[in-house]
Amino acid sequence: MKVASHAVARMLGTWQEGPGPAHQRLSDRLRLLVLDGRLSLGSAMPSERDLAVALSTSRTTVGAAYRTLVEHGYLATRARARATVRLPDDTPPERRAGTDPATIDLSFAAPPAPVEILHAAFAAALEQLPRHFERHGYDRSGTAELREAVAHWYERRGLPTPPDHILITNGAQHALALLARTLVSPRDKVLIDHPTYPHAISTFTAARARLLPVAVAPSGWDTAQLQAAGRIASLAYLIPDFHNPTGLCMPASVRQSLRLACPTVIDETMTDLALDTASPEPFAMHMPTAISIGSVSKSIWGGLRIGWIRATPSLLERVQQTRYATDLGTPVVEQLATAVLLNEGRTQRPGALQQLRSQRDTLRQALTEHLPHVHAPQPAGGLTLWATFPQPISSRLAAIAPDHGVSIAAGPRFGIGGAFERNIRLPYTLPPSQLTQAIRGLAQAEQALTRGATGAHGPAPVA
Ligand X SMILES: Cc1ncc(COP(=O)(O)O)c(C=O)c1O
Residues of this chain that bind ligand X (CB under 6 A): 109, 171-173, 197, 239, 244, 267, 269, 295, 297, 302, 307, 463
Q: How far is the CB of 245 from ligand X (least distance, A)?
A: 8
Contact 240, 212 (CB under 8 A): no
Q: What is the rounded distance in angstroms from the CA atom of residue 71 to the CA atom of residue 198?
A: 30
3-state secondary structure of 211: strand
Question: Do strands 75-76 and 84-85 pair parallel, antiparallel, or not at all (unpaired)?
Answer: antiparallel
Identify the sign of the CA torsion 446, 447, 453, 455. negative
Tell me the β-bridge partners of 388: 375, 423
Residue whose CB is less far from ligand X, 161 or 246: 246
Q: How far is the CB of 458 from ligand X (least distance, A)?
A: 19
Residue whose CB is less far from ligand X, 3 or 430: 430
Question: Do strands 104-106 and 406-410 pair parallel, antiparallel, or not at all (unpaired)?
Answer: parallel
Residue whose CB is less far from ligand X, 45 or 339: 339
Q: How far is the CB of 247 from ligand X (least distance, A)?
A: 11
Residue whose CB is less far from ligand X, 66 or 414: 414
Q: What is the rounded distance in angstroms from the CA atom of residue 440 to the CA atom of residue 417?
A: 30
Contact 395, 97 (CB under 8 A): no
Q: What is the rounded distance in angstroms from the CA atom of residue 385 to the CA atom of residue 313?
A: 37
Q: How far is the CB of 441 from ligand X (least distance, A)?
A: 23
Helices and strands, counts by H and E, the chain: 15, 13
Residue whose CB is less far from ligand X, 18 or 294: 294
Report the residue number whose CB is nearest to ligand X.
171
Torsion of CA 61, 65, 67, 69, to 10 degrees: -170
Residue whose CB is less far from ligand X, 62 or 239: 239
Residue whose CB is less far from ligand X, 28 or 267: 267
Contact 266, 283 (CB under 8 A): yes
Q: How far is the CB of 272 from ligand X (least distance, A)?
A: 12
Q: How far is the CB of 297 from ligand X (least distance, A)?
A: 3
Q: What is the 3-state secondary structure (H, E, C) of 4-15?
A: CHHHHHHHHCCC
Q: How far is the CB of 338 from ligand X (least distance, A)?
A: 11
The count of C-alpha atoms lying within 13 angstroms of the C-alpha of 403, restricted to the half-sphere facing its C-beta, is 17
Backbone phi, then psi, for 44, in 5-degree steps? -90, 125
Q: How far is the CB of 382 from ligand X (least distance, A)?
A: 8
Residue whose CB is less far from ligand X, 13 or 294: 294
